Amino acid sequence: MILCDIGNTNAHLLRDGEFVIESLEKFLAAKFNGEVYYICVNDSLRATLKMRKNFTDLESFIKFDTSYKGMGIDRICACKSIREGIVVDAGSAITVDVMSDGKHQGGFILPGLRAYKEVYGSISPRLDFDMNREVLLSSLPKNTQDAISFAILKSLILMIHNSSEGKSIYFTGGDGEYLSSFFENGIFDKMVVFKTLLSTVEELKKGKFKC
């Protein structure tokens, strides 16, 4: 059995207990034997995936109680597996959600690290720099690359810190491990989304849902 969380840039797979991140191109070109259970926030792939006989879209089986309108299924899965704390999914976009006593309190969406980098280049060629992931946050920058890197990283940290109020912060997604390293109360957990996928497949196999 393979579980997939398909995003806008990559597909995250859990295959025989092993995590794999694949580009969408590679993921779509691959042949999968056996059952594949997936969620997908990338609308352009929906029709293609539906045509695959061994692929099952789990979205309609996952229920989540929130007053938030338009929450992506990946975010829902991540939040559903956390009772208390902050859930940060750091991929193409960085979603930050607050869970309190098993209830979703709302959340917000920041650009992902790669998107941030690209926006600067689109403003001016003078701002087209790779992010310096080692930038010092304790003193004000003195060159353009650091001025951009500092702004990206510090604004993400301040936004996440501001919403955490001392609670545990669960990070997942491609940049989750890097971002978690800036927080004492940060926990990197690749399983956050997959926990919900796993429990949904278990319920599905037990015949809880009528297909």
Distance CA 26, CA 38 (A): 16
Mask of contacts with its own copies, 57-86, x by CB under 8 A? ----------xxxx-x--------------
Q: Is 194 in the site for its own copies (CB under 8 A)?
A: no
Helix, strand or coil, per DSSP, at residue 113: helix
Contacts from 55-64 at CB under 8 Å and sequence distance 24+?
Answer: 56/204, 58/197, 58/200, 58/201, 58/204, 61/200, 61/203, 61/204, 61/209, 62/196, 62/200, 64/104
Residue 151 binds its own copies (CB under 8 A): yes
Which residues inside 6-65 make contact with its own copies, applying CB under 8 A? 8, 41-43
What is the Cα gyration radius of the chain?
A: 18
Q: How far is the CB of 122 from its own copies (least distance, A)?
A: 7
Among this protein's residues, is 74 annotated catalytic? yes
Site for its own copies contains 138 (CB under 8 A): no
Taking the C-alpha atoms of 190, 171, 78 and 38 in order, what is their torsion angle to the nearest 10 degrees?
-40
Name the catalytic one among 5, 57, 65, 74.
Answer: 74
Q: So which residues are the catalytic ones?
A: 74
Q: Residue numbers of the site for its own copies (CB under 8 A)?
A: 8, 41-43, 67-70, 72, 92-93, 95-96, 98, 105-112, 115-116, 118-120, 122-127, 139-144, 147-148, 150-151, 154-156, 158-159, 162-163
